[in-house]
């Protein structure tokens, strides 16, 4: 399911108003066609590799080679996770199969 391709970027974090460390994951799948909140996703973190892989359920069902983001983890484990594309605007994903992006 997952391979050891190079990470696309580092996970973005923020600190909530009550001081929690919150990890922010992209809200759109790597292919750029699905909202992860809508179709569902799987996030699998590997402490050993320091990477979290975020797989789009819709792309995974279609066995798209680019069904998952690979994001580098930094620092201590977050208290919770949010989905937001904003911190990732401008990030160019490392695609196995390059294609035009159609966000939304």
Interface with Zn ion (CB under 5 A): 29, 31, 34, 56, 58-59
| Alpha-helix residue ranges (DSSP H) falling in 5-103 | 36-39, 57-61
Q: State the minimum distance, in angstroms, from the CB of residue 25 to Zn ion.
A: 13
Toward Zn ion, which CB reaches closer, 13 or 85? 85
Q: Which is nearer to Zn ion, 52 or 58 (CB)?
A: 58
DSSP H helical ranges for 1-104: 36-39, 57-61
- Can you tell me which residue has the tokens 């196995």? 96
- Report helix, strand or coil for 61: helix
What is the rounded distance in angstroms from the CA atom of residue 104 to the CA atom of residue 4?
27
Minimum CB distance to Zn ion smaller for 25 or for 31:
31
Q: Give me the least distance between CB of 83 and Zn ion, in Å please.
A: 13
CB 81, min distance to Zn ion, A: 18
């Amino acid at each position: 399911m997952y391979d050891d391709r190079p990470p696309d970027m580092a996970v973005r974090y923020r600190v909530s108003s009550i001081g929690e460390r919150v990890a922010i994951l992209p809200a759109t799948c790597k292919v750029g066609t699905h909202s992860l909140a809508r179709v569902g996703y799987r996030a699998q973190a590997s402490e050993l590799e320091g990477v979290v892989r975020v797989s789009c359920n819709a792309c995974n069902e279609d066995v798209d080679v680019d069904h998952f983001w690979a994001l580098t983890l930094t620092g201590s484990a977050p208290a919770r996770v949010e989905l937001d594309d904003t911190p990732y605007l401008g990030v160019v994903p490392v695609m196995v199969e390059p294609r035009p992006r159609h966000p939304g």
